[in-house]
Amino acid sequence: MDKKIIINVSIGETRIAILEDQKLVELFFERPENERTLSNIHFGRVAKVVKGMQAAFINIGQKQDAFLHFSDIGDNFAQFNSLLGLEEAGGHRNSSSFSDPHLKQGQPILVQVTKEPIASKGARVTTNLTLPGRYLVLLPFAQTIGVSRKITNRRERRRLKELGAKMVQSGFGLVIRTISEHKEEKDLKSDYENLIKSWNEMVRQIEKETPPSLVFKDVGMLSSVVRDLFTADITQMVVDSSKMHRQIVRYLKDVSPQMVDRVELYRKKEPIFDAYNIENEISKSLARKVWLKSGGYIFFDHTEALTAIDVNSGRFMGRRSHDANSLKINLEAAKEIARLLRLRDIGGIIIIDFIDMIEEKNRKKLQQDFEHELKADRAQYSVAPLSQFGIIEMTRERVRPNLLFTISEACPACMGTGRIISNSTVAARIERWIKRYRSEKGDRALQLVVHPELAKFLTAGFNNRLRKISWKYWTRVKVVTDDSISMDDFRVLDRDGQEDLTMQFMP
């Protein structure tokens, strides 16, 4: 498989695209106002303990308090408390449940971000701290040495584990990453020493800080992609910024000199994302309706609770049986959905409504193919069997906000629902407001502030709705237009326009 990383650097943002066989499969955005917070370590303070939820909310200095479930409080919590100078050692856990870790409101605590804030939800955090490096992940106050499961050669796994045991200090554990395969001892040891240095610097900073404060900041999005994703299976990395190219080459010369030749500076006048057809792929892939080559299409609906995906036959005109035609569209859709889940970074609960099929062999084929396509996904996921209604339910790890919400904002008119209240409904609401007002007050003159389009609807033609309302309630209503007001909203002022009466007579 031909895998490339394409990087576009501009003043306002950096975009990183991952291509597999010229097809866009992952896309990352980094902007100054929306910096990556994943893996950052905070010296926080317990804001609230909710034993009914088996969780605590931690003030880490962000808009929303972070969420710490008791299951994310590690067995090494006592050592972290000792580091912070606390006497409470924390609770113990058993195999079936998590006991109260004796967290107290106002207590200082060290936590690490495992999921970034999403919508109205704060970050999710853990006390199981890790410091990621190029080849290793340092585990403070742990005793284990693990080797990536993707390293399958037994002899190599044993060699790496022995190297890890040889270099690790007492009171630390290690996870040896996939990229460490066949690396020399000096490379791993250099990475380990850098991680120990970072840990010691963080400990010294904690002694000076008062919570909430950031005590360890992981590398930015671009650096993390180079560190974590620029592995041996990447054939080429292309970047259109000479400054960024120099930074990447300098970093690789220290950690992976054999990979330097794969980094290329893009010098052409044509925008880099246009040259690799990425811009076009972004436009198509992030649309609500995504067309398939066969003529079918996939429809995405995002809600607070879940993401619903509907598969439709669209313009497809098959010549075989209904089941065979449905299988063809479903298999094409399954492959595309697996790609789009990665590209859009859709997490949480996902419901996929495939086209109904009767034959059991076709249903099994769809299930197997979909699960096979998902294997390329780095995020953790769980897939339920295809139901009798042709629906697959699944969950996918939610780490970052959905890409769609990163590059777009909710429509101010519909507030993200995709629909606004009809003009007729708003007119009826205005009439009910005036009826309430007239039942309690005697003034017969008002000013009605509405959007210009709604004003046209209320006053247009022979069937003038506002005139009818005025006659019915014996009230003179002067219409005032305002472009800034929502099309499905209104405000009512007194006859001089001095006092806003709207909320006084709302139900």
Secondary structure (DSSP) of 164-229: HHHHPPTTEEEEE-GGGTT--HHHHHHHHHHHHHHHHHHHHHHHH--SSEEEE----HHHHHHHHH
* pLDDT tens digit sequence for 50-69: 988 889 999 999 889 999 99
Alpha-carbon distance of 144 to 327, in angstroms, equals 47
The one-character DSSP state at 291 is: E
pLDDT surpassing 60 at residue 23: yes
Please state whether beta strands 145-147 and 14-20 pair in parallel, antiparallel, or not at all (unpaired): unpaired
pLDDT at residue 91, rounded to an integer: 41
Phi/psi of residue 105, each to 5°?
A: -60, 130
- Beta bridge partners, 42, equal 111, 214
For helices 322-344 and 360-374, angle between their N-to-C axes, nearest 10 degrees = 20
pLDDT band at 34 (very low <50, low <70, confident <90, very high): low
pLDDT band at 95 (very low <50, low <70, confident <90, very high): very low
pLDDT at residue 86, rounded to an integer: 59
For CA atoms 481, 482, 483, 485, the dihedral sign is negative
pLDDT surpassing 70 at residue 437: yes
Contact of 41 with 110, CB cutoff 8 Å = yes
Average pLDDT, the chain: 86
Q: How many CB atoms lie within 10 A of CB 50?
A: 10
235: left (phi over 0), alpha (psi -120 to 50) or beta: alpha
Q: What is the mean pLDDT of residues 445-458?
A: 92
pLDDT surpassing 50 at residue 166: yes
Residue whose entry in the numeric block shows the structure tokens 């299976």: 233
In one letter, which amino acid is 5?
Answer: I
For helices 278-285 and 322-344, angle between their N-to-C axes, nearest 10 degrees = 110
Q: Which residues contact 352 (CB under 8 A, 6 or more apart)?
A: 309, 311, 337, 391, 392, 393, 394
Tokens at residue 132, please? 């990621």
Sequence-separated contacts (24+) of 279-282 with Cβ below 8 Å? 281/23, 281/24, 282/24, 282/27
Instruction: Tell me if the bond preceding 140 is cis, omega within 30° of 0.
Output: no
Q: What is the mean pLDDT of residues 390-405?
A: 82
% of the chain surpassing 90 pLDDT: 40
CA distances from 338 to 24, 271, 344, 403 (A): 12, 28, 10, 15
The reported pTM is 0.71
Q: What is the mean pLDDT of residues 242-247?
A: 90
Alpha-carbon distance of 431 to 65, in angstroms, equals 43
pLDDT at residue 65, rounded to an integer: 93
Residue whose entry in the numeric block shows the structure tokens 């190219």: 245
- Beta bridge partners, 476, equal 445
Tokens at residue 315, please? 């313009």
pLDDT band at 90 (very low <50, low <70, confident <90, very high): very low
Higher pLDDT, 466 or 231: 466
Higher pLDDT, 374 or 38: 374
Q: Which residues contact 392 (CB under 8 A, 6 or more apart)?
A: 351, 352, 354, 367, 370, 383, 384, 385, 386
| Strands of 208-337, DSSP E | 213-216, 236-239, 263-265, 289-291, 297-302, 306-312
**DSSP-assigned states of every residue in 27-84:** EEEEBTTB---TT-EEEEEEEEEEGGGTEEEEE-SSSSPEEEEGGGS-TTHHHHHHHT
Alpha-carbon distance of 247 to 260, in angstroms, equals 11
| Strands of 313-364, DSSP E | 348-353
pLDDT at residue 386, rounded to an integer: 93
Work out the burial of residue 496: count CB atoms within 10 Å of its CB; fewer than 13 is exposed, 13-18 middle, 19 or more buried. Answer: exposed
Residue-wise over 9-28: b if at least 16 C-beta within 10 A, else e? Answer: beeeebbbbbbbeeebbbbb
